[in-house]
Structures are given as structure tokens and as C-alpha cells.
Amino acid sequence: MNQRTLLRGLYAITNSPQAADRDLPNQVSQALEGGTRVIQYRDKGKGRQRRVAEASQLLQLTKQYHALLIINDDIELAAETGADGVHLGRHDADITHARQRLGTEAIIGISCYNRLALAKQAEQAGADYVAFGRFFPSLTKPQAVQANPQLLRQARQTLTLPLVAIGGITPDNGGPLISAGADMLAVIHAVFGQPDIRQACERFRPIFATGG
């Protein structure tokens, strides 16, 4: 199966503070049971050995559910664990280096904030998806730049890559972003900050089923 066909639906990003007193693999398992298609492992506070161990555990879970594991920022961690790919931001390594290190089958995602020009560059450089946002106030990155749905419409007209929307997204506000062109909704607090993670993920299903 072409892994890139999985780049649709709910994209859940782990968050260390919200997992501090809870079992991260159990959290991710609940998210996958709820229908999450992509898990991004995002943890910059733990030691290397712990990160390798956790990422390896999460990869086994995503394989069981025929989902994807993307590593935030860390190309070497993605390579060491055999993760499906890596997500890179403005200050991370470039796509060329990631592709050389991870191979042609790896999925490489790029943060493009509110800049369509960055997304066009990413597509030309060989990215597999691009992410825009924040679209709504974000608990994780309250100072992140603001994007609007019109950006998604413009991107949908000019890019062939899957589009990710991120930033303060909930089941109540995510529908218009799908209608505007987003293929995936990236969520942190609305999944991992909820008492029932599986149910939180299931609440997103109608949005994707109806196209917004």
C-alpha cells in the first residue's frame, strides 16, 4: 500500500505536558481506535533513549492500525526507529537532507505557517504534504502566526499536495477548513487534552465524512 494514501483525516500530535501523568502509548492507542490516521510524535523534553523507546512503541501501534507515525523535527530519530516520516519547521533541516537520510518512501511534511510561497517551494523540493496555521487561538503555540481559510482555497487551486490545517481546531470549528481545502486537521489539545481520547477523535469523523 502506498503510505501517502493515508494522508487524509485526523492528524493527532502528541504533547508532552498532557502526557506527563498518563501513559503515552495508551493515549495514542485510544486516538487510533478513534480513527486517527496520522500520529506525530512531538517531544523535545525527554532524553534520547526515552524518545527512541517511545517512538518505537508508537510505531508498532500505528502499524497495527494501518496508520502513520511522523516524527516532529528529528530526522535521525525517524531514521533510527524506522518511522514513516518526519515533519519539519522553519528552523529545521531542509527537505533534501531529509530525503537523502530517510529515502524515497519516507513522508516529509513541511510547516508553511501563513505563506503560500513556502508551500510552493516545499512542493518543488519534494515534500509530501504542507501544513498551514494557526487558524484559531492555540494553547500550544499562542504566538503562532494567523492563517485564514482563504489561504487553503488558494493552496488547493495551486498545489497538488495534501494540505494540513493546524491551530486551535476542534470538531466545532474544523468543518469550514475541510470545505476550504484541507485534507487533514492537525490537533493536539482537542485530542490529547480530553478525558476520553477515543471519543474526542470520533467527534471529528462527521466532518471528514461530509467534507466539512
- The reply to whether 111 belongs to the active site is yes
Percentages helix, strand, coil for the chain (3-state, rounded to 5) are: 45, 15, 40
- The reply to whether 42 belongs to the active site is yes
Q: Record the cell numbers describing residue 50, joined without a space.
A: 526515552
Choice among 4, 42, 101, 120 that is catalytic: 42
Q: Record the cell numbers describing residue 120, joined without a space.
A: 510552493
Choice among 4, 101, 141, 205 that is catalytic: 141
Helix axes 48-64, 24-33, angle to 10 degrees: 20
d(CA 39, CA 13): 6
Residues tagged active-site: 42, 111, 141
